[in-house]
Structure 1
Amino acid sequence: MGKSLMSFADSSEHEIEPERKVGKLKAFRFFGARRESKKRARALTLGGNILVLCLGNICRSPVVETLLKKSLPGELFQIRSRGLLPLDSQPSPEDYAKQAKSLGVDLSDHLSNPISAEDISWATIILIMDDSNREGLRRYGEMALSKVVWLGAWDPSGDIVIPDPFREPPQTQRQIITRMKRVSSHFTAWLIHTVNSHRNQISRP
């Protein structure tokens, strides 16, 4: 009996170990993504074009676009949002838009736009929400991938991934919208500080 229990314990340890390794590799990869995102976002030191991307451009990216437009000076930053799916002129889901509005984000006039090669060329950086967004940009080549910045890199208290709230329960939608508000606030504060620091440096005699 003791031998069989020991054998079971050994086999279980071997089964769990790969999961631990995957978790460590994922954590290391996302740590690198955070660091690389902040490095790439410094391309906006003098201003620039911010493209906010998600899957359909009906839930996450329009919320972030709205928040950034409210917080960043228009004379320095141009902001637009797009989706990877070929959804053209689709409104945000009614239930989701209701949750967003209750949290101070009005999506009533938003209509979806699919991403294009022109958007890629226009963008200084491309703010993404999850790994599927990054994978979806591969078809646009290295130029698109070199502009990828994870919005979640500015959330020190959470995962770098911002999940899709589409068809999720209302409470989950509210949690994700609230998180996007928090992360967008961190991002804009960091960006404004970076711009001001650069201005102070170049103005010194």
Structure 2
Amino acid sequence: MMPNLLVVCLGNYCRSPFAQLALARRGGPHMAVRSAGLIGKWQDQPAHSAMVNAARRLGYDLTAHRAQQISLDMLEWADKVLAMDASVLATPPGRLRSEEREQTAPLPRRPGRARPDGPGRRRVPRMRCAH
């Protein structure tokens, strides 16, 4: 059976769209990957232009991406929910049934690499986020 992975960040506008493409490429036809954000602020908006450009330089195309807010349907679809940082991981469990909580796991990160989504945050080059 092909695993279904849901990648979640704050807005589904920088990190999780890129992670979706990278994981889908790495998993190939053996994995289905979707992405979502905790908040709907960027609902139906394209990925941040800086992330689109960074992804392009790494061989990924984010131009078709449109942000989506996490939904119960997405959570039911997912076999695993991958959080882009600890704060995201701390948020969804309140929305999850107990058996779903056991299936959540943070993405591994290197120290100093957590980066909140969105404008108004300290600017961190998107290429660093993409590596």
TM-score of the aligned structures, taking structure 1 as reference length: 0.55
* CA gap 1:47/1:81 in 2 versus in 1, 3 angstroms: same
Aligned to 1:47: 2
Query: For residue 78 of structure 1, what is the aligned residue in structure 2?
Result: 32
Shift of 1:135: 2.1
Alpha-carbon contact 1:150-1:160 (below 8 Å) kept: no
Aligned mate of 2:106, from 139, 150, 159: 150
Aligned mates of 1:150, 1:63 — CA distance in 2: 16
Task: Tell me the amino acid that sits aligned with residue 35 of structure 2.
Answer: S
Q: C-alpha displacement at 1:161, in angstroms?
A: 6.0
2:114 matched to which residue of 1? 162
Closer, same or farther in 2 for the Cα pair 1:50/1:135, shift >3 Å? same
Structure 1 spans left out of the alignment, 5+ residues: 1-45, 179-205
CA gap of 1:84–1:144, structure 2 versus 1, over 3 A, is farther
Residue identity in the other structure for 2:50 = D
- Where does residue 99 of structure 1 map in the other structure? 54
- Answer 1 or 2: higher relative contact order, Cα 8 Å, separation at least 6: 2
1:88 corresponds to which residue?
43
CA RMSD of aligned residues (A): 2.1
TM-superposed CA distance for 1:143, in Å, is 3.6
Does residue 174 of the first structure (1) align with residue 130 of the second (2)? Answer: no
Aligned to 1:125: 80
C-alpha distance 165-57 of structure 1, shift in aligned 2 (>3 A): closer
Q: Distance in 2 between matches of 1:161 and 1:140?
A: 26
TM-aligned CA deviation for residue 47 of structure 1: 3.3
Q: For the residues of structure 2 that align with 1:110 and 1:49, how far apart are their CA atoms?
A: 18
The structure in which a higher percent of residues are strand is: 2
Q: Is 1:108 paired with 2:63? A: yes
User: In terms of Rg, which structure is larger?
Assistant: 1
The letter of the residue matching 2:103 is K
- TM-score (norm. length: structure 2): 0.83
Quote the sequence identity (%).
26
| Structure having the larger proportion of residues in helix | 1
Partner of 2:17: 62
Residues 63-100 of structure 1: CA deviation (Å, up to 9, x unaligned): 011111112132x3211111111132111122231222
